Amino acid sequence: MDPVKSATRTLEVLSFFAENRHPAALKEICEVLKYPQSSMTVLLKTLTSIGYLNYDRSRRLYFPTLRVTSLGEWIPCSLFNKAEILELQRDIFNATGETVVLAISNDIYVEYVSAIPSLHPLRFDVGVGSTRLIHQSPLGWLLMAQMKPKDAEKLIMRADAADHAADSSGKSKASAMEGIEHVHEHGYSYGENTPFLGGATLGFVLPVEINGRPVVLGCGGVIERMRADKDRHIASIQSILETFNISDVVSRI
């Protein structure tokens, strides 16, 4: 098997378990990831032999070992040099009850680096490490509002070119420009049906950097709830940001 394909499939197997969180048989893994059983068998056996998967022979089920957790358990401490930023995220979650995420820019994408999911039955789950095109996200508009206008326009054009689903009307580009203007006027971002249909997101810039990149906070849920609670959420978040001392929380990795 191509080494690059093997690396990709290895990460997809680990992501499969992160999303599904239960022991799984070879057949289920192949069906979900859409890979041939022959090559997946070899990969799973390899991951088992080097200690990253456990294989229950009696039930023919695979499950990650604790060795997998050790790969990334150090990252939050390195990204968030002090606990204040994560405490802030928790405080805003407690105040709003909605999903609260932290995100940074990653070229033409917004990358989610921490997430606390809402307890509401109807919600939008955001996977840590997942990305969205920067011009199609209220958090992306927030990040681009910190840039020089020409740099933001270039980034929007690059992101739009990478979006194969973009239509000729240029709605994403127009929405991004409107979103950036909204940030300049109000100090926060707000968007509906982006990046999730039926969802709405409020976004705020934090006085924090990770590797020299601004960190933004998003609070999101279904449109109906967010519309009804928008003013209350804005007031709560702004109040928490004003009183929470995180001005010196800067990651230095």
Q: Which tokens is 18 given?
A: 């992160």
Determine the Cα–Cα distance for residues 163 and 165; give it in Å rounded to an integer.
5
Determine the Cα–Cα distance for residues 154 and 176; give it in Å rounded to an integer.
12
3-state secondary structure 99-144: EEEEEEEECCEEEEEEEECCCCCCCCCCCCCCEEEHHHCHHHHHHH
Q: What is the pLDDT of residues 23-81, one digit of tens each?
A: 999 999 999 999 898 889 999 999 998 888 998 888 899 999 888 877 766 666 556 55
- Whether the link from the prior residue into 195 is cis, omega within 30° of 0, is yes
Say what the pTM is: 0.70
Q: Is 70 left (phi over 0), alpha (psi -120 to 50) or beta?
A: alpha
- From first to last of the 253 residues of the chain, give the pLDDT tens digit: 566 778 888 889 988 998 888 999 999 999 999 989 888 999 999 999 888 899 888 889 999 988 887 776 666 655 655 567 888 999 999 999 999 999 999 889 999 988 999 988 888 888 887 889 999 999 999 999 999 999 999 999 999 888 765 454 467 888 999 999 999 999 999 999 988 889 999 999 998 877 778 899 999 999 999 999 999 999 999 999 988 755 444 333 3
Q: Which tokens is 128 given?
A: 């840590």
CB 110 within 8 A of CB 203: no
